[in-house]
Amino acid sequence: MRTSLFLLTVSPVTVLSGVTPPVRPLLPPDNANLTLDGAIDLYPLNFNISDSQHKGWTQIDGSVWINAFIHGSNGHDYYIASHLMSYASDIEGSKPVYRASVLDLTDPTIFYKYDRIAPENTTFWTRDGDFRANFEDYGMETIDKNPLHGLHTYSAAENVEFDFDFFFTSPILLNAALGSYQVGGGFGWEWSVPRGCTEGSFKVNGEKVDIVPEKSFACSLNSRDSVVPINLTASTTNVWVSPDTGLEYPQEWIIQWEDTELLVSSPRPDQVIEADDDTGFPSQFSGYVNVVATKAGHNAMTVPTDLALPNFDAVFIQNNQESDSQDPIQALQGVPYAIRKVISIAKIKIHIIVEPVDPSNASSNYRFKLTSSVMGLGIIGAAPLRAVGFQTDNTDVRVMDGVEQEKDEPMIGKTKSRIWMSTLEELMKEPNSIGDVAEFLKQGWEGYDEKTSKVVRISIKSAGAGSAEAWQNEQAWGVQKGRWTARVAFRKGSVSETARILYDYVA
């Protein structure tokens, strides 16, 4: 089922052909030290952190990651991943693996990756116990004899060429509380260096690009096993299916604990590493993601002041706590009770693009594109929606010319709708076509220039023949007090309802 604009659910879109560049603020590297000036000695650790970089008395195997967030001398931002793993690199017949990737964050359509199986019985350690894994086209090793100074990594594979040092200039992050935990009947440990200084270079299209250290940092994750958050909901609709294995990888996740919520989304779906079955290496999604954090009692994210109609491109999350309930309006439209309740607890993400149909023509009409996703329900929660054919991911594209279009909606019947752009002055002068309730659309715009400030106007009405009482839904979308806002005025017979829907700016 396809749904109208007012239900804010619209069909899956391919991410590869038109990827929205993530918004990445400048985060300089830390210039502190790994051990917090010796304070790490006060923690009751039951392992020595240097053992991950130097093979001493304990058996060391596991996984070492370097994830570098780099600003290049060519002006682009990049995410470079370097990973080496063997859960038992000294066991006869074992097959360690290594892999690397380069993603252009400024233009995420540019992405290269590879993974390799190392020769059998490969060891990552020298006879003296130093961490040094060197292969024909890849390597990772300690920078010098000090195991906690940093790591050096390089890659010489086609399109994935880099050579840089990652210094442990950031205080250590002990994962799983104190960095150790019981897993699989054994002892596991995991620690990270979240923002260390990065120096070196890489290649783009064969040309050398220097890393700008003051605008770049890297993370290191060293562990035997991984920790999985327990309050996590993965999207069941926004998924990518691997053409190689047929496995499905969610592209959006919601992580919740106490009064904090993280919305995690991938700007590119195929950041997946898949090794041969006989390596024992699991297929997994590992890559760059965008994260939006929401904490109760904190101000919502507002729309940047330089982002305004008529040219508009932004992603928002509907703020259910601050928005008015849409249940009375949906009930009058005939949306079933069970569906209304499911929608009321969902997270709705929308991506709005307003752009000229013909950029070369100054008098061109504008195009309105709305891509939306209903998230946070999980497989069981989304079941009632799927049972009635309700699409939880959809895209609707309309020319903003005010021309009426007819549509047949399975849950609410036939509708006629129009969409156009108007100035606030034009909005204020509109006749109240559905009575006094239409005045609700004209409220809350104080402080904006009526002649230059613009809003998106949407008008929807029932069009089905029969005894059902007709209804009309009028909407005005725009920025009010820094927030993207939808004002809705609805009337069915003598019954009128209004709703103000607020959105948090994401990117």
Per-residue pLDDT tens for 369-399?
A: 988 777 655 544 555 555 555 666 678 889 9
| Residue-level pLDDT at 260 | 79
Report in angstroms the alpha-carbon separations of 98 from 81, 82, 269, 333.
11, 8, 21, 56
Residues 86 and 52 sit within 8 Å (Cβ to Cβ): no
pLDDT at position 6 is 36
In sequence order, the 6+-apart residues with CB closer than 8 A to the CB of 181 are 188, 189, 190, 227
What tokens appear for 10 in the block?
């619209």
What is the band of 19 on the pLDDT scale with cuts at 50, 70, 90? very low
Q: What integer is the mean pLDDT of 212-228?
A: 65
Q: Where are the beta strands (DSSP E) in 224-309?
A: 232-234, 239-241, 248-250, 252-257, 260-265, 272-273, 284-285, 290-295
Distance CA 155, CA 161 (A): 5
For residue 106, give every residue at least 6 positions away whose Cβ sits within 8 Å of its Cβ, in sequence order, or none: 21, 75, 76, 77
Residue 305's CB: how many other CB atoms inside 10 A? 8
Q: What is the CA radius of gyration of the chain?
A: 27
All structural domains of the chain, each given as residue ranges with its CATH number in brackets, are 5-16+298-505 (2.40.128.20), 23-227 (2.40.370.10)
Please check the confidence at residue 294 and state whether its pLDDT lies above 80: no
> Could you identify the residue written with the tokens 């990651």?
65
Average pLDDT on 280-308 reads 75
Point out the least confidently predicted range of 27-31, 316-320, 477-481: 27-31
- 3-state percent breakdown (helix, strand, coil) of the chain, nearest 5: 10, 45, 45
Q: Which residues of 373-406 are buried (b: 16+ CB within 10 A; e: fewer)?
A: bbbbbeeeebebbeeeebbbbbebebebeeeeee
H or E segment and range at residue 306: none
pLDDT 10s digits, 119-173: 777 778 888 878 888 998 999 998 988 878 889 999 999 999 999 999 988 888 7
Question: Do 375 and 367 touch, CB atoms closer than 8 A?
Answer: no
Q: How confident is the model at residue 257 (pLDDT cuts 50, 70, 90)?
A: confident
Structure-block tokens of residue 227 = 């920790």
**Residue 213 · residue 199 · CB < 8 Å:** yes
Long-range contacts of range 381-389, CB-CB < 8 Å, 24 or more positions apart?
381/342, 381/345, 381/346, 382/236, 382/237, 382/342, 384/338, 384/339, 384/342, 385/339, 385/342, 385/343, 388/1, 388/336, 388/339, 389/1
- What are the tokens at 347? 């997270």
Cα–Cα distance, 416 to 96 (Å, whole number): 61
Q: Residue 41: is it exposed, middle or buried by C-beta count within 10 angstroms (0-12/13-18/19+)?
A: exposed
Task: Give yes or no for residue 81 having a pLDDT over 80.
Answer: yes
Which pLDDT value is given to residue 11?
A: 24
